[in-house]
């Protein structure tokens, strides 16, 4: 039986994140501005449409996340600006409003306009293009050098290469749009407290991480407990922003909605087409890398790591061939399944085993949809298209397919851990130590070669 798609498959949808765009103007509350100015956490900038806001004031959990950063001293009578704004974030005063752009009242706001501009700015840079092509694409899209450097962060190269350039730009626009709403909400809440209790009212501060947030652990993503595995359980991860996962939990912290875990970026994934699926993986370091990349792209949002524990006996209860199937590189089943699903071609013939299964376990495809769409047959898929893991192995994912997959996941232990500012700095310190060891090892090897050559002479 032939598992290939028709000669002219339907075009896949763009490999871009979903649109989520409030058109409401985002601004700081006037009463709150006065108080922020008085405490030295709000300053004008050289850009007339932007202001500097201290990191501990960007969202409601700022005092907890950035407790390692001291608040600035209150400004004196001359209102001298701080010497450095390293502990501040540059925030736009407004989101572009509907009324300011269209008299017809058409629902088009900041994120929608940014998406339209990015999508219309020429050819995309795909995951297999070199860095210069990515830079040129971002320049055409009007992306400033600072954000370009963030997207091109060397530590996040593997994560970045799993999608196209415009995918990450649009994902970042969506995330930062949500951040502005968080900043606005926090500012107006503080302004309301000032109005109700007076300008000199001191807010009740809780410097514990995310105290009282439903579903959020008080421990952070780099806590050793998070990476610990019990022999009788399989631990799986997914990363994202707190704004994406918070709707999973009730006010009591119980999981009531798994929809935020569903594959968010398009109709199809590695192991499914035209059906929803939840993808999780067992690689802690990879989860940390993606959480770090999310935090770098939007430092004002809370990047999180989601952890689910599944008893092995429950996984083993899924019968192979009907409820569970496997798809590993370089098998023809993996190549055909990924090639068809990424092109939005519904699995046929022997590939329908994956569509009917509760769980499909296999390797992760490391390139964007457009790269797969260019391949004439599954046989043209290469090793470089498989996402690597530690120690030369290939990364593995668990795809829970359709409603049967969602039902299977219900009831297992699930926790969300914040990847905080301190977590970000911890990752950077660890990478610096690793790079230092590599440099020392390289120097040692070079010295050994020189000594051997000297002895031969």
Report the alpha-carbon distance of residue 22 to residue 35 in Å, rounded: 27
Contact residues for 388 (Cβ-Cβ < 8 A; gap 6+)? 158, 366, 394, 395
Q: Among all chains, which residue has been given the structure tokens 């989520």?
A: 20
Query: Is 237 part of any domain?
Result: yes
R_g of the chain computed on alpha carbons? 24
333 and 390 housed in the same domain: yes
191 and 271 housed in the same domain: no
On the 0-12 / 13-18 / 19+ scale of CB atoms within 10 A, 316 is exposed
Among 404, 419, 434, residue at a domain's last position: 419
Query: Is 65 part of any domain?
Result: yes
Query: Is 397 part of any domain?
Result: yes
Q: Among all chains, which residue has been given the structure tokens 């990847």?
A: 419
Q: Among all chains, which residue has been given the structure tokens 């593995």?
A: 396
In a structure prediction context, what are the per-residue pLDDT tens digits for the chain, which is 457 residues long?
A: 333 333 333 344 445 454 444 444 556 777 788 888 888 888 888 887 788 888 888 877 777 778 888 888 877 666 677 878 888 888 887 765 433 333 334 444 556 667 777 878 788 888 878 899 999 999 988 888 888 999 999 888 888 988 889 989 888 888 888 888 778 777 777 776 665 655 554 554 544 445 445 667 778 888 888 888 878 999 999 998 888 887 787 766 667 778 778 765 455 689 988 678 899 999 999 999 999 999 999 888 888 999 999 999 999 999 888 899 999 999 999 999 999 998 888 777 888 888 889 999 999 999 888 889 899 999 999 999 999 987 778 999 999 988 888 889 887 888 889 888 888 888 888 888 877 777 777 766 666 656 665 656 5
157 and 237 housed in the same domain: no
pLDDT value for 252: 62
276 and 378 housed in the same domain: yes
Whether 151 contacts 169, CB under 8 Å? yes
Query: Is 305 part of any domain?
Result: yes
pLDDT value for 12: 40
Whether 385 contacts 378, CB under 8 Å? no
Q: Which of 327, 396, 398, 324 is nearest to 357 (CA)?
A: 324
Query: Is 285 part of any domain?
Result: yes
pLDDT value for 197: 59
137 and 247 housed in the same domain: no
pTM, entire model: 0.79
Domain that holds residue 252: 224-419
381 and 321 housed in the same domain: yes
146 and 255 housed in the same domain: no
Residue 177 tokens, joined: 């749009």
236 and 188 housed in the same domain: no
Residue 415 tokens, joined: 């926790």
Residue 427 tokens, joined: 């990752």
What is the tally of structural domains in the chain? Answer: 2
Whether 79 contacts 432, CB under 8 Å? no
275 and 156 housed in the same domain: no
Query: Is 434 part of any domain?
Result: no
274 and 368 housed in the same domain: yes
233 and 278 housed in the same domain: yes
* Paired strand residues for 262: 278
Query: Is 182 part of any domain?
Result: yes
Query: Is 424 part of any domain?
Result: no
pLDDT value for 57: 86
193 and 228 housed in the same domain: no
Report the alpha-carbon distance of residue 160 to residue 151 in Å, rounded: 7
């Amino acid at each position: 039986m032939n598992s290939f798609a028709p000669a002219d498959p339907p075009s896949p949808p763009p490999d871009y994140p979903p649109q989520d765009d409030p058109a409401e103007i985002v601004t700081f509350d006037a009463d709150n501005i006065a108080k922020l100015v008085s405490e030295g956490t709000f300053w004008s900038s050289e850009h007339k449409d932007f202001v500097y806001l201290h990191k501990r004031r960007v969202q409601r959990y700022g005092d907890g996340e950035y407790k390692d950063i001291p608040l600035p001293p209150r400004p004196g009578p001359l209102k001298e600006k701080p010497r450095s704004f390293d502990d501040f974030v540059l925030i736009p005063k407004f989101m572009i409003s509907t009324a300011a752009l269209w008299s017809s009242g058409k629902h088009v706001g900041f994120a929608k306009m940014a998406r339209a501009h990015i999508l219309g700015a020429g050819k995309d840079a795909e995951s297999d293009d070199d860095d210069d092509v990515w830079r040129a694409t971002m320049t055409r899209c009007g992306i400033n050098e600072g954000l370009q450097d963030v997207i091109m962060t060397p530590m996040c190269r593997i994560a970045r290469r799993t999608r196209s350039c415009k995918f990450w730009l649009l994902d970042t626009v969506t995330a930062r749009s949500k951040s502005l709403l968080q900043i606005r909400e926090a500012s107006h809440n503080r302004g309301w407290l000032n109005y109700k209790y007076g300008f000199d009212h001191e807010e009740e501060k809780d410097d514990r991480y995310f105290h009282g947030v439903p579903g959020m652990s008080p421990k952070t993503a780099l806590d050793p407990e998070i990476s610990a595995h019990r022999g009788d359980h399989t631990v799986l991860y997914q990363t994202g922003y707190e704004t994406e996962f918070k709707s999973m939990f009730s006010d009591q912290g119980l999981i009531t909605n798994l929809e935020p875990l569903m594959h968010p970026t398009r109709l199809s994934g590695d192991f499914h087409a035209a059906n929803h699926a939840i993808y999780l993986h067992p690689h802690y370091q990879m989860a940390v890398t993606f959480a770090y990349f999310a935090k770098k792209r939007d430092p004002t949002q809370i990047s999180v790591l989601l952890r689910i524990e599944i008893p092995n006996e429950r996984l083993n209860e899924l019968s192979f061939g009907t409820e569970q199937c496997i798809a590993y590189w370089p098998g023809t089943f993996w190549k055909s399944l990924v090639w068809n699903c990424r092109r939005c071609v519904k699995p046929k013939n022997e590939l329908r085993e994956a569509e009917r299964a509760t769980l499909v376990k296999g390797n992760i495809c490391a390139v964007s949809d457009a790269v797969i769409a260019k391949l004439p047959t599954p046989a043209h898929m290469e090793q470089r298209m498989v996402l690597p893991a530690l120690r030369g192995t290939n990364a593995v994912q668990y795809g829970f397919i359709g409603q049967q997959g969602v039902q299977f996941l219900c009831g297992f232990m699930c926790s969300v851990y914040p990847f905080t500012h301190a977590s970000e700095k911890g990752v950077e310190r660890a990478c610096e130590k690793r790079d230092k060891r590599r440099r020392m090892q390289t120097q040692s090897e070079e010295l050994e070669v020189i000594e051997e050559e000297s002895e031969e002479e």
